[in-house]
Amino acid sequence: MTDREWATQRPWGVRVDWGRAGARALGPGSACVVVVDVLSFTTAVSVAIERGTQVIPYPWRDDSAAAFAANREARLAVGRHAVSAEQPWSLSPAALRKAPAPRRLVLPSPNGSSIAAAVSAVPVIAACLRNATAVGRWIRGQGWGTAEKPVSVIAAGEHWGDGSLRPTLEDWLGAGAVVSALAAYGAGPLSPEALVAKGSHDGAGAVAAVVARCASGCELAALGFGDDVRIAVEIDESRVVPVLSEGAFADAT
């Protein structure tokens, strides 16, 4: 096995890694990359797409984001605490469920959105606990998830103040939910990383309660966004499969 092979978890059919670096390492040669950012980017994507909105990922909410959105005839999501009657869209799934549904929405996020925007040349799929089974079923319907056409599942994680990756329990369990669904529909073989992610999810018991009580879930609740956590743990209630095409996520089903 060459250095490149072990770094990309070859020759396994389902692989798991973390963050932008993991996506860049595993993406080339994959049939698709599945991004998992449970709290909250990919959950927000699932909610927006259910309402008919195409979601455009953007890495940062900076001065360039407004021009980026205007050039794409899209609305721009603001920070959770900055929502208003004029700009009711944010990374909050609860806010997106209440707000008018625009045709296109730019959704900045330094985690899931940044990873999605960094992947090129292969399909990118947004998965969360709400649609993990739908995503696994759709991927297998494409014939992906084999050693010849591998699937790479990327847990987004968060970042510490110094910019380093902070692995998060909710994204690890979300990645495991996708792997579990893929395996149920016959994908494989699973890399050791994928096996452990699957085992973590399958053995976690009440996943919704675990996510609600984990560090990220408690943080959001303390900030007043407990509804976002409750939406994120609507386990398998969504059938949308958000696939990034021509710069925007839309439902592939």
CB 210 within 8 Å of CB 169:
yes
d(CA 86, CA 196): 45
d(CA 55, CA 181): 24
Domain annotation covers residue 143? yes
Domain annotation covers residue 5? no
Q: Number of structural domains, the chain?
A: 1
Domain annotation covers residue 61? yes
CA separation, residue 71 to residues 106, 148, 191 (Å)? 11, 39, 41
Neighbours of 221 (CB within 10 A): 16
Domain annotation covers residue 1? no
pLDDT score for 6: 73
Domain annotation covers residue 49? yes
pLDDT score for 4: 65
Q: Report which residue type is found at 68.
A: F
Domain annotation covers residue 7? no
Write down the H helix ranges in the chain. Answer: 3-7, 19-26, 41-50, 63-71, 93-98, 112-118, 132-141, 169-184, 192-202, 207-213, 215-222, 226-232
pLDDT score for 3: 53
Domain annotation covers residue 51? yes
3-state secondary structure of 93: helix
- Reading the chain (253 residues) residue by residue, the pLDDT tens digits are 555 677 789 899 999 999 999 999 999 999 999 999 999 999 999 999 999 999 999 998 888 999 999 999 999 999 999 999 999 999 999 999 999 999 999 999 999 999 999 899 999 999 999 999 999 999 999 999 999 999 999 999 999 999 899 999 999 999 999 999 999 999 999 999 999 999 999 999 999 999 999 999 999 999 999 999 999 999 999 999 999 999 999 999 9
From the list 230, 198, 200, 174, the residue with the least C-alpha distance to 37 is 174
What's the CATH code of the domain at 151?
A: 3.90.1560.10
d(CA 90, CA 97): 10
Q: Which domain holds residue 74?
A: 12-251
Domain annotation covers residue 104? yes
